[in-house]
Each structure stands twice: as structure tokens, then as C-alpha cells.
Amino acid sequence: MTIQTGDKLPDATFVKVTESGPEQVNTADYFKGRRVALFSVPGAFTPTCSAKHLPGYVDKAGELKAKGVDEIVCTAVNDAFVMGAWGKSAGANDSVTMLADGNGDFAEAVGLTMDGKAFGMGKRGQRFSMIVNDGVVEQLNVEAPGEFKVSSADHMLEQL
């Protein structure tokens, strides 16, 4: 079942790369008491994700934070090292936190997986964005297959 506005985020674990190595991040702890703009991409270093999706959030980080967002998070079904390298190459380290959903557990728990086998990618997370306020989904934007509109930073800014 797909997560809906008003639902609490399911219990899942992300991994992020820190200066001291990979660190596990539990959703209940990480999103508690904060308003987070979270967006999911099908894969790090993929064309639309690298050319538009992540750069949009990097460019609009200040505007999102000015509208009450405490943190901006990017997630994908990639390992933490790939997510860390992608964030670094995109200049996202100071503006967007990269959280790896390496096994797709979060994407599966929120009911937003996609089958990327035709592209050699296996199970991935769909392209979506959400505002999470104290662990509860305040806004949810799920893209139609092949689209990039409602999960963009610009669209999220319009909603805030």
C-alpha cells in the first residue's frame, strides 16, 4: 500500500556517508521534531536525476529553508558510497543530505518502488517528493512514469 498524506513514515533504515564512515539512520529518529523536504530519484548519476532533480534542490535550498524546511534529503536505491560521491560531485554536501536506501527497504515500505529491469537497474524507488513534518507526511508528490514535474524543487516551493 502506498503511503498517503497524513501517514507516519514507516520504520526503515537509511545509510549516509560521514567523515568517520557509513552511519545508519533510522527514520523515527531522523525525522523526529523536524520538517524535512525528502525527494527520491531512481538512481544516482542517472540523466534526469543528475541534470535536473538534484541540482534543482541544491539551487533552491535557501528558498526551501526560508519557507520552514529544516533539512533537504535525497534518497535513492544506491549504496551510501555512491550517494556520497554523487552529492559531492553535484556540490550538494552543504545543502542536501544524501541518504542511501541501498536495499530499497524504504521505497518498499512507502509503497513507491518501480521495476527498472528493462534498464538494467532492478528494483528502484520511484521519483517522488514529500514534506515530512515530525515523522508525518504533510505533502506527497509522486511522478507518473517517465515524468519530472511534481517532485521538483520548484513544485515543492509552490506548495509551501
- Is 49 annotated as catalytic? yes
* Element housing 154 (H / E): helix 153-159
- Which residue(s) pair with 17 in the sheet? 22
**Euclidean distance between the first and the last CA atom of the chain, given in angstroms as a whole number:** 26
108 vs 43: CA distance, rounded Å: 15
Write the burial class of residue 32 (CB in 10 Å: 0-12 exposed, 13-18 middle, 19+ buried).
Answer: exposed
Considering the candidates 49, 54, 92, 132, report the single residue annotated as catalytic: 49
The SS3 call for residue 105 is helix
Residues forming the active site: 49
